[in-house]
Each structure stands twice: as structure tokens, then as C-alpha cells.
Structure 1
Amino acid sequence: MPPTYLLRYICWRKVRVFMRSISPPRINRFSQFVRFFRVSRLLLWTIWVIYRERQRVVRARERGNYQVQPNVEVLIEVLTAFRHTAIKLGVLMIKLGQFLSSRADLLPERALTVLSTLQDEVPPEPFEHVVSVIESEFGRPVEEIFSSLERKCTAAASLGQVHKAVLASTGETVAVKVQRPNIDSLVIMDLSTLKFVIWVINRLVDTSDFIDLMGVYNEFRRTTYEEIDFVREASNAKRFKEMFQDDPTIYIPTIHEEYVTRRVLVLEWIDGIKINDYATIDAQGINRLEVAKRTVKAYFRQFFEEGFFHADPHPGNIFIKKYSHEDGPVIAFVDFGMTGTLTKNMKRSMKDLFLGFVMRDSHTIVTGLSRLGFIGEDANMAAIERGMGLMMEQYYGMTLGEVRDLDIPEVAQDIENLLYGQPFQIPAQFAFTGRAIGTLVGVSTGLAPDFNFIEVATPYARKFLGLDAAGVGQTIQDLGGQLLDTGRVLMSLPRSIDRLISRIETGQLEVRLANLPGGKRTRRRRRGQQNHVQLANGNGGHGSTAWVIMFAVAVAGGVFLLSTAHLVIPGWFCLGVAGVTVLAMLFKH
């Protein structure tokens, strides 16, 4: 090594060591206080206005006045201020804005659009910061790692940004993801502030009927700490690569493990077209419908088969490779910081949702949503079922394009009343999943208006529900258990009805009436001969009535299951119970 170069290298090392000792500058106490004040004020104002408008509408609708609507102009004003401040403060505020942009149960559509472009407005950090982080993480000059590193970032997010580079060792083009400065300190500060604001709000008002604030906080905390750990993101990427290694239609970039730290992540560069760049897709002669199918199929596999999914599918994270497979477009996913997992209980409830959707049974759908935590305890279940039935009637079997072209303001108003007027909430574990699904639906609609989700979902749903060859044994076992439970209930029904009728006739039944005029609750007891209910004449009359009711219920259930739900085994089981009931009545007489 020439002496001049060696001397210059030693000087550079001393300078870099000094720079690492002083950068990035720590946030002083005054700056911390100012940020705490701005974040607290912003969150308190935003949550209070949303809560106030919601309560005003809910109270009006409780009085039967369905003409009252939230003050959209006030909501737009507060959300516009939130967006501007969030862009300046960055980090957690941007993630909160993204969360709010998916909450159709909290905000009207016009207000939601204010936050829809928040992700695209995040300003990048200076290039000097990028160089400083890379050199401090790997302990050597950036020129030794990359033969070229573009100054302009290709993508900027709330927690980091991406630059295109070329590895000096192999000449391979790569994507370099670098964290923003002071990210750990800012995350800790913002999370502490958010927790304080939630504590204050919970002391002042009860928001549990429309949002679980502490649950949302815990979900924010979990996902944020996962996103700022690039080692974990690299592990997620490798898991997805293994997941799709035998699928030529899906591509996951390779991670360069020798260049992975908690603050820097180097992975294969994807030379592709953004999934929402429709003009370029058409110019390349790519089949947009096939792109939509393959993208959605990949997500159905993640949801139904793996139970582990990419939770941030916005257009900047999904590409169509330019040099795709000869059999059609190859879809490439990037950015694996946000992922989701489906637990066994969640899968069980989701099965109820699918069965309800296939059977067009709004009651089963609402039950599944309630088990998943989407519906509060004080909800008007009958009203929600009617709303679900209305949506099923209007939208079942339609393509996304047909839904988009519909002009049914009355139905839209009914749906908004359903969401806004009931304790319908998004559980914390679904805080970002709903946004992901909404984004995926939007992208698919833009790609191919004729795309039909039901057609693509059917094979995955069959496997998920255990209706394929591999799962038929478990399905029969589960069905057998359900039939036994149903049989026990049906066989015990006459005895239960006997007891009920006996209590009515002897005056032992107590009836409680709630929400009477004046807000008072009264209690009325039927005693002796007062308000006496005579259901049958002669001894044992009410027992015969019970068996008749038993017979009628069994026949009605069997006819419904066979003719409407097309469930053969449960239907014939109910008819069999009806036959046994008739025999029991004959033997009794």
C-alpha cells in the first residue's frame, strides 16, 4: 500500500471514529418536551373530535333520528392538521395516520381520504445520514462496501428509506434499507406520549364501545419494534422465500446476510414495474387480470394455508418483474417489516365467516365477527344482521368492477349507519390487517375491474374449511361432534320446555323489562291465576305441547338445511330427530 494512501486511510479512520462518537446528535431535554407537547396536543385533539362527533350521531340515532350525520368539515380540518404535523414529526405519527385511514367505522369516507396519501408524503433523510449509518454499522468506508450508492432514495417510509447500490465485492445491484436517525429514542418518546394520552382519555371518557385504545397501543408497540429491527425483517424475508420457493409466479428477493444489522438491510434489487403503474403494464403487454389473480392468490395462500402474511401490501411493496416467466407475469414482494399471524382461535372464527358467506347466512357472519372481537357487547345484533343481509343481497357474486360502478346511495347510507351507529370496532390485532386487505382490494380493482374474488378464493377456502380430500377426515370428525352436540340439545329440548311451561303455570317465571320509558327498570312476576297461561287441557298437556314444538323445530330445521343451505347430513339428521319425536309421542300416548 502506498504511503500516501495509507496516511490518508489512517486519517479517514480517525475522522470516522470521531464522527461516530458525536453523531447522531442526541435529542436534548427541551426538544423532547416540545415534541411531547406537540404529540400530546395532536392526539388529544384528534381523538376527542372523533369521539365527540361519533357520540353525537349515536345519541341522535338512539332517539330515532337517523338524519343526523357527523360534521365532516370539522373532521377534515382536524385530520388535515394531523397529517401536516405527522409529516413533520414522522415515525409513530405517520403510522397512526395510516391506521386512522383504514377506520371506516370511525370516520366518514370524505374524512378518510385526507390521510390516504400520507405514506407518499414522507420526506427522506439527507444522504450524509445514510452514509454515516452504513459506515458506523459495518466499520469501514462506504466505498469499500458499495462501488456505487445513489444519493436519491427510491422509497422513504416512516422508519427508514431505501437507496439503490452496487456491491463492490460481486457487482450485484442491491437495495440498501437504512433507518432514520435517532429512531430508537423517537419511538420510545412517541410510545410513552401515546400511552400517556390514552391514560388521560380513559380517565375522562369511555371509548371502549368503539375502540380499544390500550389494545391499539400494544399493537402499535409490537409492530413498531418489529419494523425497526432489520434482523427480524431479514428473517421474515427468508421465511417468505421458503414459502414460495416452488411457486414460479411469486418472487421474493434474496437477503445478503453478511450485510444485515439492526439498522441496515441489504437485499436483492428488484427490477420491476409498480403494481399500480397501469400505463407501463399495458405498454409491456402484461395481462392485468392475471397480475391481479396471482397477487391475490399469493395472499390467499398466506392467509389460509400458512397463517403468516405480508401485512403492508401497498403498491410500493409489490412489483411485476420486467423479465417475467414465459408463462405469465411474476409478482415480487418487498419490505417484510410488517407481518401478521392467524392464531387457531382466529382461524376457527374465520371459518364461521366463510361458511356464513357461502350460505349467505348473516347470523353466522355476525357471530364470527363477534367472536373475533369486531362487535361490542352492547351492539344491536338484529340491526347488524339486517345490515349484513342487505350487503349480502346487494354484493354477493359481483365482480369488483360491478361493485365500483354501482350507484346505490341508499345502500351506502345504510352501511355507514351500520358501522357508525353500532359498537363495531376493529380489534387491535387487526389494526393494520384491515388496511392491508383494503389496499389489496383497491389494487386488484384498479388492475382488473372484472376480477372476481370468489372464483379465486374457492379452492383456498375449501382447503381452509377442510373440504378437500386431505381435510375430509377431520371435517367428518368435527361434523360428527357438532351433530352429537346438536342431538343432545334437541333431545333435551322437550324437558326444558316442560320446565319452562311449569314455571309459567305456577307463577315462578320472572320477566325483566329494560329500557322502559323514563329509563326505569321494572320487574313483574306472574303468580297463581293472574295472567295464567293455559297451553293445554288435561294432565300432561304441556308435555305434549313440548313434543309438538320439538317435532316442528326438527322438521323446519331439516327442510331448511336440505333445501336452502344444501347441507345433506345435518338436514337428514334433523328429519331423523323429527321421526324419533313422533315415535316418542306415540309411545307416550
Structure 2
Amino acid sequence: MSWRVMRRLLDVGRVLKKHRVLHLMVALLPSDTATVRLMRKMLPHRLSASNHAEDAAQLRMALQTLGPIFIKVGQILSTRPDLLPPEYIYELAHLQDRVTPVDSAQIRVEIEAQLSATIDELFSHFDDEPVASASVAQVHRAVVRTGKWAGRDVAVKVLRPNIDVLIKTDVECLHFLARQFARFHPDGTRLRPVEVIGEVERHLQQELDLQCEAANASQLRHHFAGNPILAVPEMCWDYCARRVMVQEWMTGVPISHLNVLEDYNINLKRLARDGVEIFFTQVFRDGFFHADMHPGNIFVGTRGEYMGRYIALDCGIVGTLSEFDRHYLAVNFLAFFNRDYRAVAAAHIESGWVPPDTPLEGLTSAVRTTCEPYFGRPIDEISLGQVLMRLFDVSRQYKVSVQPQLVLLQKTMLNVEGMGRLLDPKLDLWDTAKPYLEKWMKDTLGPRGLLKRMRREWPSIVRLLPAAPVQILTRLQDASKVSQLTLQLNRLEHQYLTTQKTNKRWRIVGMLSICILLILTFVVLRII
């Protein structure tokens, strides 16, 4: 461990101590090793159910003080009710990434260095007061001076100075803590904390490259081009660099400001249904989804062509899913909606998400017991936290390993559920999502999906087709050689077994001869 990391860990300890939550680092660890027992005795505070609420609030404030990496980890922990008591889940779900903004003079220097021009050359107006300030970056409003964007309102996002070094150090700290968790926690191997932190690190590296974020937003905008329910700002590519990003300014209000939305006569129930459709479209159709959908990043347009439409901001963290993962997720969702719990269990075994020797009937029964009580209920009667808690109990029982690529999806699902609960408490998630999933499965696995895949793979097929006859002949020749080699091996094996039998026979004869010789010697000696 480097001195830089050790110093940061000491700083983390001081912040946790200041907020009186240092004891949580071992008190919540379900381990009883000698080291853990000693640490529990050394810490001044004790964990008890009576102070869960106070400790949880202090932990949230401590994580906000520690910065972006710890905030992200806290948000991920808020999706794991199997690891933390309910009070902690509630507080961590409300983590807000808001900090005191950097002085505008430093921001101006950063912009000018990145874009190789002065602020006055770039913008006819630049507002020194940021409209948003977070631990990684802050946003200013401006008006472009020249070029095809001249006169257009834009949002200018700028990384905070030295944030790269801080995040690099924090990632190393979290890798160290993850290794300790994997070592001491009973479920350390199954939960795969090191891999999960690696996944978080990969996405945070994207967040530190604003050109990457701009590309993510541009991709999402392309996927929803012409879509009437979601808008994504256009990127001003001439003004984008690694530490500065300029994009179209969109006027709207955060999704959580319900009173303002009602003043604009926006249909909240329609918004709730649209949110579910947007989520499933991103995940299953595109395999590319906005993975930071908290209310601060999701707005609703209040002017012009974007009136009443979702506006997706801050695409620094996006999730991707392979066709394999999308297929098995869709199979699981549809089987779940159809109450086919055996198919859910079978899909888990087939996908490799549970050990191959998992008993199918036992897993089927466990999934049925967990999910059946929640069917047909509106969202205000369902606690997704309780559902997850019971599912994680099943996961622990059947050794379901955590899939790091699905961690962000799980977090995003909770964000979507929270928005649905906010906009329309009577929303039926099952009825809203099932038709879309059925259509996706039909389009993907039906004739249309087959033709689409063939069109996509056609260039590869054309490229490989001329060489196919030669490859087939080569494989046949190889098969013939393998067959001959197998015959030779069988012949050698037969000769070896024959030799072994002969040797065994001679060994028996030899042993008999020795025995006879010993007996004769004994008789002769007796006679003498």
C-alpha cells in the first residue's frame, strides 16, 4: 500500500470519526474473527437498533464529505438491503452530490486552457454563477459567439481542478477495502466486491473524460431520435474537450418538482408510463442505458418542442449489456410476469448465474415464495426494497454470484421504481412493462429478428464464405487424423494392458517360485 493511499485512508477514518460512524466499519461486518472482535472493543461507540436512524444520517453526510467515489458506492449500497438495515438503505438512497462551487476565475482558466481561446472569444455571454455544482464538475450557462452555434444558449460543463488525482487515490482505497471485505465477510466470495469496485472504477473513468460523456449523450440521442417521450441535448463538438463539454441548453424542471409540473398541466401518470417504456427500451432494444437516473439528472421540458418530454442530462455513467445478458434478462422478466417460476429458475441455471448443480425444483419454490405475493399490486403497495431483500436471501441460499455488469442496472431499476412511485403511486409496473417485453422478444427471436441478425452478420458471412470449402475439407482431414490417432491410441492402450497382464502373470509366477524356494529351504534346514 502506497503512502498516498494510507494517508487517504487515515483521512477517511477522520471524517467517519468526526461524524461518529467509524464504528460502523466493523459493527456491520458479520464476522467474528479475533481481529474484528478486537477492533469492536477498541471503538468507542456500539451499534444498536435504537440509534440506527442517527448513524445512517451521519453516514450519508460523511460519504457526501468524502466525495464522488464514496457517494457512488453509497448509492450502490442503497440497493443492497441484505447488507444494511432499512434505515441505512433509506438514507443512502438520498445521497446528494452537491458541493461548494469552484471560484469562477479557476473555471475560466480551465476552459481557456482546454479550448485554446479566451472566454470572450468563445462566448458572447458567460454566467460566472454555476447553475449546478457537484464533486466532479460544475455547469455554467453561456451563449456561443461564433460559428454555426452562434447565438445559441449552451450549458458549459467543467471538471473541478485536481479531481483526477483524488479519484485515482480513492479508487485504490476502495480496492483495498474491497479486498478486506472479501476476506472477512462470509459472503465475500459470492458478492465479488473487488469486481464490483472495478466496474465502478471503469464507469468513473468515463465520467472524468467529458468527451466520453459527450459521446455517450450523442449515442443516447441517436437511439431516441424522433422519439416523442425522451430528449437528449445536442453536443457542440467544436467546444468539447477532455475536461470541458458544451451542449445545447434545454429548459425544464427536475422530475421531483411535482407542483411545478402540475402548474404546466403535465400529465404525471403519462410521465410514469413513459419512464417505464424509456427504461425497457434502453435496456432491451439498445443494450445501452443511462445509469445515473436520479431526479437531479432527469428533467421534464417546459418549453417549445420539448414540452412535457423527459430530458436526460449527465450521461457520464452509462451501462451496457451484451446480447447474452439481455436475452436472459428478458426471459427472466417475461417468465416472472407470466408467473412461470420454473422458467425463471431454469434461466438462472442455464445462464450460469447459479451453480450448475443447483436443484431446479428447490430454486423454483424459493422464487415463487418470494415473488408471488406482489402480483397485481400497484406500486404504492410494493416495497422493492423488501422484494430485493427476499431475493437476496434466495441468492445467498443458492449461492447466486453477483454479476458486476448488472450492478448498475439494479441501481437504475431502483431509480425508475422511485420515479414511478413519485409520479403515479397506482402505477402497475407489471401491466406496463409486459407488453413491451413481449413485443421485444417477438421482434428479437421471431422471423423479423432472425432477418435483422442475418443482415447485421452478412458482411462477416460474405467474408468467410469463399474460404468455407477449404475450411470444411481441412476440418474433415483433421477429423480423419484424429480418428487415426484415436485408433493408434486404442491399439497402444490394448498393447499396454496386454503387457500389464503378462507382467502381472509373471510376477505371480515369480512370487510362487520364491515361496516354493523358501518352503524347500525351510524343509532342507529342518532335515539337516
CA contact (8 A) 2:30 2:186 kept: no
Residue of structure 1 aligned with 2:69, choices 85, 92, 102: 92
Residue of structure 1 aligned with 2:27, choices 46, 49, 71: 49
Residue of structure 1 aligned with 2:369, choices 387, 390, 397: 390
Residue of structure 2 aligned with 1:192, choices 148, 152, 172: 172
Residue of structure 2 aligned with 1:342, choices 321, 335, 343: 321
- Return the offset for 1:413: 8.7
**2:125 equivalent to 1:145:** no
Q: Report 1:27-42 matches (<5 A).
A: 34-39=7-12
State the secondary structure of the residue aligned to 2:79. coil
CA contact (8 A) 2:5 2:173 kept: no
> What is the alpha-carbon distance in structure 1 between the residues aligned to residue 401 and residue 54 of structure 2?
24
State the secondary structure of the residue aligned to 1:431. helix
Letter in 2 for 1:392: C
Counterpart position of 1:401: 380
- Return the offset for 1:360: 0.6
State the secondary structure of the residue aligned to 1:466. helix
Letter in 2 for 1:128: A
CA contact (8 A) 1:105 1:424 kept: no
**2:333 equivalent to 1:354:** yes
- Return the offset for 1:80: 4.3
Letter in 2 for 1:389: R
> What is the alpha-carbon distance in structure 1 between the residues aligned to residue 358 and residue 31 of structure 2?
19
Residue of structure 1 aligned with 2:205, choices 225, 239, 253: 225
> What is the alpha-carbon distance in structure 2 between the residues aligned to residue 89 and residue 48 of structure 1?
19
- Return the offset for 1:390: 3.3
> What is the alpha-carbon distance in structure 1 between the residues aligned to residue 81 and residue 406 of structure 2?
13
Residue of structure 1 aligned with 2:309, choices 322, 330, 347: 330
**2:233 equivalent to 1:253:** yes
**2:140 equivalent to 1:163:** yes
> What is the alpha-carbon distance in structure 1 between the residues aligned to residue 220 and residue 282 of structure 2?
9
State the secondary structure of the residue aligned to 2:299. strand
CA contact (8 A) 1:290 1:329 kept: no
Letter in 2 for 1:283: D
- Return the offset for 1:103: 1.6
CA contact (8 A) 2:102 2:160 kept: yes
The C-alpha deviation readout for 1:306-354, integer Å capped at 9, x for no partner, is: 111111111121221112559x722221111111111122123213302
**2:416 equivalent to 1:450:** no
Task: Tell me the TM-score normalised to structure 1 length.
Answer: 0.64
> What is the alpha-carbon distance in structure 1 between the residues aligned to residue 145 and residue 448 of structure 2?
55
> What is the alpha-carbon distance in structure 2 between the residues aligned to residue 462 and residue 141 of structure 1?
54
- Return the offset for 1:36: 3.3
How many residues matched? 429
Residue of structure 2 aligned with 1:283, choices 237, 260, 263: 263
Identity of aligned residues (%): 29
Letter in 2 for 1:399: P
Q: 1:358 to 1:364 in 2, by over 3 A?
A: same
CA contact (8 A) 2:301 2:310 kept: yes
Q: Report 1:471-482 matches (<5 A).
A: 471=447
Counterpart position of 2:277: 297
Task: Return 441-450 or 141-150, whichever deviates more.
Answer: 141-150
The C-alpha deviation readout for 1:375-410, integer Å capped at 9, x for no partner, is: 679989877644532343322233323437x9xx9x
Q: 1:372 to 1:448 in 2, by over 3 A?
A: farther
> What is the alpha-carbon distance in structure 1 between the residues aligned to residue 357 and residue 61 of structure 2?
36
CA contact (8 A) 1:104 1:419 kept: no
State the secondary structure of the residue aligned to 1:465. helix
> What is the alpha-carbon distance in structure 1 between the residues aligned to residue 104 and residue 32 of structure 2?
44
Q: 1:260 to 1:282 in 2, by over 3 A?
A: same
Residue of structure 1 aligned with 2:113, choices 130, 133, 136: 136
> What is the alpha-carbon distance in structure 2 between the residues aligned to residue 141 and residue 161 of structure 1?
19
CA contact (8 A) 1:40 1:194 kept: no
**Cα RMSD, aligned residues only:** 3.6
Counterpart position of 1:543: none
Counterpart position of 1:532: none
Q: 1:123 to 1:290 in 2, by over 3 A?
A: same
Q: 1:345 to 1:44 in 2, by over 3 A?
A: farther
State the secondary structure of the residue aligned to 2:236. strand
Letter in 2 for 1:465: M
Task: Return 347-356 or 200-209, whichever deviates more.
Answer: 200-209
- Return the offset for 1:87: 2.4
State the secondary structure of the residue aligned to 1:222. helix
> What is the alpha-carbon distance in structure 1 between the residues aligned to residue 79 and residue 317 of structure 2?
16
Q: Report 1:415-564 matches (<5 A).
A: 426-466=402-442, 471=447
CA contact (8 A) 1:44 1:201 kept: no
Letter in 1 for 2:262: D
Q: 1:414 to 1:342 in 2, by over 3 A?
A: closer
State the secondary structure of the residue aligned to 2:314. coil
Q: 1:196 to 1:290 in 2, by over 3 A?
A: same
> What is the alpha-carbon distance in structure 2 between the residues aligned to residue 205 and residue 354 of structure 1?
31
> What is the alpha-carbon distance in structure 2 between the residues aligned to residue 96 and residue 371 of structure 1?
30
- Return the offset for 1:284: 1.0
> What is the alpha-carbon distance in structure 2 between the residues aligned to residue 85 and residue 376 of structure 1?
38
> What is the alpha-carbon distance in structure 2 between the residues aligned to residue 71 and residue 376 of structure 1?
36
- Return the offset for 1:151: 3.1
Letter in 2 for 1:230: L
- Return the offset for 1:86: 2.5
CA contact (8 A) 2:78 2:93 kept: yes
Please tell me whether Structure 1 or Structure 2 has the larger radius of gyration of its CA atoms. 2
State the secondary structure of the residue aligned to 2:173. helix
CA contact (8 A) 1:276 1:315 kept: yes
CA contact (8 A) 2:81 2:389 kept: no
- Return the offset for 1:426: 4.2
Q: 1:324 to 1:366 in 2, by over 3 A?
A: farther
- Return the offset for 1:232: 1.0
Letter in 2 for 1:347: R
**2:223 equivalent to 1:243:** yes
Structure 1: runs of 5 or more not aligned: 1-28, 56-69, 476-589
- Return the offset for 1:295: 2.4
> What is the alpha-carbon distance in structure 1 between the residues aligned to residue 347 and residue 238 of structure 2?
46
State the secondary structure of the residue aligned to 1:320. strand
Counterpart position of 2:455: none
The C-alpha deviation readout for 1:355-382, integer Å capped at 9, x for no partner, is: 4213312233244346667667998987
> What is the alpha-carbon distance in structure 1 between the residues aligned to residue 58 and residue 357 of structure 2?
33
Letter in 2 for 1:190: D
The C-alpha deviation readout for 1:172-202, integer Å capped at 9, x for no partner, is: 1111111122122112111122222333444
Task: Return 394-403 or 302-311, whichever deviates more.
Answer: 394-403
